[in-house]
A and B are shown apart, each in its own frame.
Chain A
């Protein structure tokens, strides 16, 4: 059974870079059937998609965060990572990693939803 686990500092200073890693177990991050992503949820608020990555390294980012976000994959460690630069208090949130449900057909990937989630990790931006 595929499982995801987020890890990283729970406290980040303003203007610094937030770095989180998602470790995949019970399956291969290199499967052509899966995309992977990061989603966040500020305290008491809704869900915000941050970005997506394929094992090949193809990435897509939320346009509202694109200038500050980098998502990368390390297939040798079965991990993918999030970096968010120049953080402010508005970046305080629970950060989730997720596996996407979908299917790959020739060069196209059909997305259906996010069917496996990590438990989430709380990141607070404060000095």
Chain B
């Protein structure tokens, strides 16, 4: 079973600053990784898939990188609407298993 970890658990950032979130897999998932954003009381929103491809309608300030076991989500200049929880999800075992990381909360510094 592939275990996903995310760091830090909470990231405090000022508006306009850069945010870097990490996601690690316990074994290689190649580029089979997605990122989601979830705001309080809302369903998650797909941001990135294939480790680095932005989903439809996602602003260019969101970028993903990495492969294998180490992945990064970067928000280049945080906007007020970007304060949320971010989850990574591996799908290397598709269709038999889809696994989410525990999440990183990005809050206002």
Contacts and interface: CB of A to CB of B under 8 A. Distances in A.
A115 B56 contact: yes
Q: How big is the A interface, by class?
A: 20 to 34
Contacts, number: 63
Nearest to A59: B95
B3 interface: no
Contacts of B94: 111
Contact of A46 (B34, B53, B101): B101
A60 B96 contact: yes
Contacts of B102: 46
A47 B49 contact: no
Majority SS at the chain B contact face: loop
A14 B8 CA distance: 36
Contact of B55 (A35, A49, A98, A101): A101
Interface of B: 34, 36, 38, 42-46, 49-50, 53, 55-56, 87, 89, 91, 94-103
Given A46-B100, A115-B55, 19 more contacts: A46-B103, A47-B36, A47-B38, A48-B100, A60-B96, A62-B97, A63-B96, A96-B44, A98-B43, A109-B95, A111-B94, A112-B53, A112-B91, A113-B34, A114-B44, A114-B46, A117-B43, A117-B45, A118-B43
